[in-house]
Amino acid sequence: MSFRSTSLTSDQPVSGLVWKVGAITLCRLVFNTARRFAYPFAPALSRGLGVPLTAITSVIAVNQSTAVLGMFFGPLADRFGYRLMMLAGLGLLVAGMFAGGFLPFYGVVLAALFLAGLGKSVFDPALQAYVGERVPFHRRGLVIGVLEFSWAGSTLLGIPIIGLLIEHLGWRAPFFVMGGVGLLGIAALSIFIPKDGKKPVRHQTAAGLWNAWRRLGQERAALGAVCFSFFVSAANDNLFVVYGAWLEKSFSLRIVALGLVTSVIGVAELSGEGFTAAISDWLGLKRAVAVGLVMCVISYGVLPLLGQNLPLALCGLFFIFLTYEFTIVSALSLCTELLPGTRATMMSGFLAAAGTGRVVGALIGGPVWLTGGILMTCIVSAAISSMGLLSLVWGLRGWRRSQ
């Protein structure tokens, strides 16, 4: 098997695919860890930089905003090649991490995490388009699902390693380590991913790049997928930003216990990605996304009923994040085929909508929680997810994959 070919046949070497997937997964593990590590270690960063905690939350917000900026790089990947943009994204990560490590000032760290987030927003659409171009549609869910293990891995592996580095070597150590691993990723991708060269598409000017986005807006399937991405991401973050407050208030959990709950969510994400790799192709990607989202809506509805004791509450959260991860990763696999001529444009639009949805969900989560507690939070998340399901059904009605 090999990404070099557009088909997977029994006479192709498995080792080639294994090395490529391994190298890419390592790169994405660093990207995802860089995106997420400021959340649990915000107090350590604030002490190290000598700034208030609110200054670190501003860094987090800037890091998240890069998902929207990534939409401008999708058409460039379709024009110049996916490998080049993946290497460019890694270059931004490396530059940011080393800058944050060598120059321990607030403004530099702010810029460092901005560059790391921007690098991820450049890397991910190019990677997904690369896979979409080279892996047959009937195996797409398997490969995308395996690559997405790096998201759960950032919680289960990356964050604990960052904690050990900060504990024993200081808050600057993670920047050097992630920068170094990023350099290894550049070398690995340069070796294992063949050059694809400049792609023969029409987008040669700024007007041409704009036309790529106009086409996305004109294609019902693509527009429905973008709306779906926005709604389901907003619904998930509406709960994600307040689940800790709910558990703390309902069960008097302390900080260490809340940290263990984060591990539960990491296992749920890993399980969702595993189910995507295992069964989404068998179900069919359209059906997998729809089934996953229906189960996610049901999970939101059931969670308030499980708040009587902690084990049931944790089970409820586990199934919400499992079904959400299964849904979103299956949707990523499906969306790689919605605009075959401009795959990176499609994927950057999908991811930009997801980033915007997360920002909106985070903004409404607090007020919704204060208004009606976990019941209101789950009702709102279920309702917004249902809007995502309607968007998906509207967009994919009558859609057939181009042969």
Tens of pLDDT, residue by residue over 52-92, are 877 776 777 777 778 777 777 877 887 888 889 999 999 99
Query: What's the number of domains the chain is made of?
Result: 2
Residue 116 and residue 187 in one domain: yes
Residue 184 and residue 251 in one domain: no
Question: By CB neighbour count within 10 A (0-12 exposed, 13-18 middle, 19+ buried), where does 91 fall?
Answer: middle
Poorest-confidence range of 65-79, 236-250, 264-278? 65-79
- 10 Å Cβ neighbour count for 14? 11
Tokens representing 126 are 């190019």
Q: Is residue 64 part of a domain?
A: yes
Instruction: Please give the average per-residue pLDDT across 4-17, as a whole number.
Output: 44
Q: Between 155 and 53, name the one with better pLDDT.
A: 155
Q: Is residue 211 part of a domain?
A: no
Q: Is residue 208 part of a domain?
A: no
| Segments forming the whole domain that contains residue 38 | 1-200
Residue 70 and residue 152 in one domain: yes
Does this model's pTM top 0.75? My answer is: yes
Tally DSSP H helices, then E strands, for the chain.
18, 0
Q: Is residue 206 part of a domain?
A: no
Q: Is residue 123 part of a domain?
A: yes
Q: Is residue 209 part of a domain?
A: no
Residue 140 and residue 263 in one domain: no
Calpha distance 314→310 (Å, rounded): 6
Q: Is residue 207 part of a domain?
A: no
What is the reported pLDDT for 70?
76
Residue 183 and residue 310 in one domain: no
| Dihedral angle of Cα 86, 90, 96, 100, to the nearest 10 degrees | 150
165-222 pLDDT, tens digit per residue, is 888 888 999 999 999 999 999 998 888 887 765 544 444 445 555 666 677 677 888 8
Residue 14 and residue 148 in one domain: yes
* Chain center to CA of 124: 8
Domain finish residue from 173, 200, 227: 200
Residue 46 and residue 87 in one domain: yes
Q: Is residue 384 part of a domain?
A: yes
Give the domain CATH number at 235. Answer: 1.20.1250.20
